[in-house]
Structure 1
Amino acid sequence: MTTPLAEKLASLSGYGPTSSVAQAQYRLDLIAKWPIGHGARVLELGCGQGDTTLALAEAVGATGHVDAVDPARLDYGSPTTLGEAQNTISTGPLGPRIAWIQSEPLKYLKTNPLAQWDVVVLAHSLWYFDSPELILETLRFLASRTQKVCIAEWSLSGINATTHILSALTQAAMECRKPESESNIRTMVAPTRIKELAAQAGLKLVEEALVTPGNGVHDGIWETQLTLGAEFAREVEEFVKDNREKAVILAMRDAVQASMDKIGGIKAVETMDGWVGVFTV
């Protein structure tokens, strides 16, 4: 069920109010699990088109601030690019609360050694990192810059999300063979692994929960379409040289197709639950 606040945030987003109300509500539901209040200074790593950024800007109030960092090119993203979405948000009433920063997260932290934040947020951005080692190094830097780190990532669970889960795993298996990538899934880390990396970085888990997205959150559909698309099949042929590995990835892709067919087609694909965790130093 969506709320008037979700409708408000959707109207301010770069996507337009009709398509993004459910996404705005999901981001609000994530933030409700985190200790973010009025006046907070927040760092968001991996802000993308600003889905979570808008909700954070609302949460911190007029006296708070959000530094929103993302390394992607401003012309990256669909159906709206990062640059277009961020510009739209900046011209709205919450825009003054946000500073958009185009930088690799770790580079930004290293070049701003004195910066401190009340809370650092990584909302559905860990899978974009190039390796678990890079995630660990970033978390170690954060341990000296804040007292709280809040993370959200797909849980690899969900009652009716099997097709989405299979799609994500299939993409992750193929991504391991690409020398470089701009894909949505570059390093797959499940909640168990996230907690292990955070512990190695000196962060202590104090709270965790699952958040089920509403029907209008279509990440499961998007990832399934990508996995079953012709471009994915072409990349498998290009990057996976071992025939046994190729057979496994193609079998996983076939499992995605079979799972989707069983539930009635692409429109029936549901998005998996989101996992949220709160860590302290």
Structure 2
Amino acid sequence: MPSSSSQLLLDGVIDTLSALMSGGNSPTNLSQLRHRLNLLTAWLGDPFSESNILPGSTVLEIGCGQGDMTVPLAHFARHVIAVDPAPLDYGAPFTLGQAQDQISRSAQVGEKITWVQSDPIQYIQRTSELLPDFAVLAHSLFYLESEQYFVELLRALAVVARRHGDGKAMKVLIAEWGMRASNSAADAHVLAVKAQAANPITDGNVRTVITPADIQRLASEAGLKIEREVWLACPDVEDGQWEVGSVKTMEYDGVAGFQIRAMERAVAELGDRKIASMDVWTGVFVL
């Protein structure tokens, strides 16, 4: 984790970057930015260390959404290619288009970001000159249509990684909800995601649940091996509360109904405690 001096720098970066984003320095923005910066630390070490390899690099981000990860990546890296297939009118209270446009107008990072609205695999396959130092998938796997799509995406990234002929291998950096809770207050989050996996909500955040074990297995199938993995215990973000709230609108059918009832029991057992977010798994992959 960052040193005390780096932590002070981190706090300053969070305040600066939140001002560039839709929602400004709201508690939600601040907590989400802090979490994304913690992901960078888990992947690559202290971002303020002289040995950190992110500065000067080009990053391909898959599933950029409204730019929660894009902004901190652009702060440290030379250039970020941010790809997402979602329509620009998707999202609330700000759409992807509104959020991305505000970030693009910022003097600090705007010119360092290229937004691409495209299917990621199609973009990778048609962009023969693509040669990033890192490919980042931060909390984007659950939006994918299937495990098969994910392994095809990893294979496409492996092709890009092989283009490096200078011995400087591209790294694939992945972070996703780990489907475990080291804090019982996050049990409801795990169960809410399981319910959505059994019966996805239209325009919801969960289409395909890919566990850390699945990620490593599928990466191996694609020719990638894990170099580093780090767990982050129950980050202080609101995602757990959001997913539980979403599930309350679902029908009590089949497997989903079983998970919903278990989730409701977990929420009831919390009493006055708030719902927490589950643990996050991070991994670094190379050829």
TM-score normalised by structure 2 residue count:
0.86
- Shift in Å, 1:15: 2.4
What does residue range 183-202 of structure 1 map to in structure 2 within 5 Å?
A: 183-202=204-223
Equivalent pairs counted in the alignment come to: 259
- Shift in Å, 1:159: 2.1
SS at match of 1:17: coil
- Find out whether 1:7 has 2:15 as its counterpart: yes
Q: Does the CA-based 8 Å contact 2:235-2:279 persist in structure 1?
A: no
Q: Does the CA-based 8 Å contact 1:33-1:276 persist in structure 2?
A: yes
Q: Does the CA-based 8 Å contact 1:13-1:89 persist in structure 2?
A: yes
- Find out whether 1:32 has 2:48 as its counterpart: no
Q: Does the CA-based 8 Å contact 1:167-1:227 persist in structure 2?
A: yes
Residues 46-86 of structure 1: CA deviation (Å, up to 9, x unaligned): 000000000100121xxx10000000011111221111111
Q: 1:213 to 1:98 in 2, by over 3 A?
A: farther
TM-score normalised by structure 1 residue count:
0.88
CA distance in 1, matches of 2:281, 2:23: 24
Match of 1:218 in 2: 238
Partner amino acid, structure 1, of 2:227:
V
Q: Does the CA-based 8 Å contact 1:153-1:274 persist in structure 2?
A: yes
Q: Does the CA-based 8 Å contact 2:82-2:115 persist in structure 1?
A: yes
- Shift in Å, 1:113: 2.5
- Find out whether 1:48 has 2:58 as its counterpart: no
Partner amino acid, structure 1, of 2:197:
A
Match of 2:257 in 1: 250
- What is the percentage of aligned positions where both structures have the same residue? 39
- Find out whether 1:76 has 2:90 as its counterpart: yes
4+ long deviations beyond 6 Å: none
SS at match of 1:83: helix
CA distance in 2, matches of 1:214, 1:250: 27
- Shift in Å, 1:252: 1.3
SS at match of 2:56: coil
- Shift in Å, 1:212: 3.3
- Shift in Å, 1:31: 0.8
CA distance in 2, matches of 1:130, 1:248: 20
Partner amino acid, structure 2, of 1:79:
P
Match of 2:165 in 1: none
CA distance in 2, matches of 1:37, 1:250: 44
CA distance in 1, matches of 2:234, 2:114: 27
Partner amino acid, structure 2, of 1:82:
L
Residues 234-268 of structure 1: CA deviation (Å, up to 9, x unaligned): xx6xxxxxxxxx33321211111111111026x71
Q: Does the CA-based 8 Å contact 1:26-1:213 persist in structure 2?
A: no
- Shift in Å, 1:211: 1.7
Q: Does the CA-based 8 Å contact 1:46-1:71 persist in structure 2?
A: yes
Partner amino acid, structure 2, of 1:113:
S
SS at match of 1:12: coil
CA distance in 1, matches of 2:26, 2:234: 16
Match of 1:21 in 2: 30
Query: Any unmatched runs of 5+ in structure 1?
Result: 237-245
Match of 1:276 in 2: 282
Query: Any unmatched runs of 5+ in structure 2?
Result: 1-6, 45-52, 162-169
SS at match of 2:277: coil
- Find out whether 1:109 has 2:129 as its counterpart: no
Q: Does the CA-based 8 Å contact 1:213-1:273 persist in structure 2?
A: yes
CA RMSD of aligned residues (A): 1.7
Residues 218-246 of structure 1: CA deviation (Å, up to 9, x unaligned): 000000000012xx22xx6xxxxxxxxx3
Q: Does the CA-based 8 Å contact 2:39-2:282 persist in structure 1?
A: yes
